Amino acid sequence: YDPALSLDAAWRLPGEQMTRASSIDDLLKEADYISLHVPYIKDKTHHLIDAEALKIMKPGVSICNFARGEIVDGAALRAAYESGTHNGKYVSDFADKDLMGHPNHLVMPHLGASTGEAEENSAGMAADQIIDFLETGSIRNSVNFPDARLDPKDTQSSRLCIVNENSPGVLGAVTSFLGDKGINIEQQINLSRGGIAYTVIDMTGQPDDPAGLQEELGAKVEGILSSRFIGVPFHNELGRPGTFYHVTWFQES
């Protein structure tokens, strides 16, 4: 997997060293080394390498697991070692209680994100992302929200960030509500992830009553979960996030 190279582009690379497998079973039959780099999903990749998979492999295939320990069934691999049907190495950065002490199990340190430099960089990145969210409403690397960033068009426009149910008609109702209030939308984005949608709207100028505008928006538009008025997000006044900052939560009745 290469984030900068698509699968189709990879197969167009010159050379005849790669063979494309049509299924996981075909790959397991032919491979001399198997490197695992898949996410752990309980009902999909749990024990992806199990007793049945081991039966398909060559006896001397070596397995490198740098994904998650649960992807390999350690008990099944231990049984294959002891029966003599498998003699390849198992290299992992996760200890396995069923394989502890076996000479074919090579455990490497799992320290990629635990060095002083990595923790300092991670802390700095987290702080920068929180600041960006507070000041501009941008969302990066969230586990349950879409990535969202709207660059400034006018440094004097005000910004409204809305969290709503990902349902048909909500965005249209929001823009119609603002239009009825005589508010001009300069630019906007609307992104969703699962059942949640996130909308960022830049409006010309400043509303006279931002808090009242939010309250009325939540009362009139069904599906609004919360809204946040940031004021002028790109006019850094004494380090504060804009000239006005107000959050309104709408509780379900």
Judge whether residue 119 has pLDDT over 50.
Answer: yes
This prediction has a pTM of 0.54
Count the Cβ atoms, other than its own, within 10 Å of residue 48.
Answer: 19
User: At 252, is the pLDDT very low, low, confident or very high (cuts 50, 70, 90)?
Assistant: low
Q: What is each CA distance from 207 to 141, 145, 148, in whole angstroms?
A: 31, 27, 24
Q: Is the pLDDT of residue 128 over 80?
A: yes
Q: Let me know if 228 is exposed, middle or buried by CB neighbors in 10 A (0-12, 13-18, 19+).
A: buried
Q: Is the pLDDT of residue 80 over 50?
A: yes
State residue 234's pLDDT score.
Answer: 58
Question: Residue range 67-89: average pLDDT?
Answer: 95
Q: Which residues does 240 contact at the CB level (< 8 Å), separation at least 6?
A: none
In percent, the amount of the chain with pLDDT more than 90 equals 53
State pLDDT tens for residues 19-30: 778 888 999 999
Distance of alpha carbon 238 from alpha carbon 229, whole angstroms: 18
What average pLDDT score do residues 43-60 get?
A: 95
**Which pLDDT value is given to residue 61?**
96
For residues 214 and 115, which has the higher predicted lDDT (pLDDT)? 214
Q: How far is CA 123 from CA 9, 109, 129, 142, in A?
A: 36, 22, 10, 15
Confidence class of residue 1 from pLDDT cuts 50, 70 and 90? low
Split at pLDDT 50, 70, 90, the class of 127 is: very high
Number of Cβ within a 10 Å radius of residue 211:
13
pLDDT mean across residues, the chain = 86
